[in-house]
Amino acid sequence: MGDLSYFESRSGRLNCNAEEVFAFVTDIRNFEQFIPKMTINDWNAEKESCSFSVSMLGKVTVRLAEKEKYNKVIFNGDALKKNDFSLTLDISDNIKRQADVRVILSADLNPMMKMLMAKPISRFLEILINEMESFSGWENTNE
């Protein structure tokens, strides 16, 4: 078993309020909007879970684990058939009633895996925040 490693994005300001982002991200099918097409294959999603393939990791599965209305959404997942991870979205409304979001990925990684994965995970979190900031269809959920 490795040590729990934490990777955190910068805070992103979205073009919606906390209620809208919460409704959108609690349906995992909507996350496909934020993932660059060239980084994953075999995307398969239902409302509360998804799976996909990533070249360095193989099959990845993600499940909605916990939600705190309008404030926090936690997804749990696994990759490499053993590494557990969680992806947390901390959501808050600012003074202008726009959502501020920070994404935290925690993973059970041994020191070698942490060294190998730190840069790709940081890049993934930056891409995710950039995509969320430029997205404008928050009211268009899959329901």
Q: Is 141 among the domain residues?
A: no
pLDDT at 2: 54
Q: How confident is the model at residue 1 (pLDDT cuts 50, 70, 90)?
A: very low
Q: How many domains does the chain have?
A: 1
Buried b (16+ CB within 10 A) or exposed e, 21-54: bbbbbbbbbbbeeebeeeebeeeebeeebbbbeb
Q: Is 127 among the domain residues?
A: yes
Predicted confidence (pLDDT) per residue in 74-122, tens digit? 999 988 767 689 999 999 998 888 999 999 999 988 888 889 889 988 9
Q: Quote the pTM value.
A: 0.88
Q: Is 82 among the domain residues?
A: yes
Q: Is 142 among the domain residues?
A: no
Q: Is 143 among the domain residues?
A: no
Domain holding 87, by residue range, is 3-134
What is the enclosing helix (H) or strand (E) of 134?
Answer: helix 111-134
Contact 3, 109 (CB under 8 A): yes
Q: What is the CATH classification number for the domain harbouring 47? A: 3.30.530.20
Q: Is 100 among the domain residues?
A: yes
Contact 18, 69 (CB under 8 A): no
Q: Is 139 among the domain residues?
A: no
Q: Is 66 among the domain residues?
A: yes
Mean pLDDT of 43-66: 90
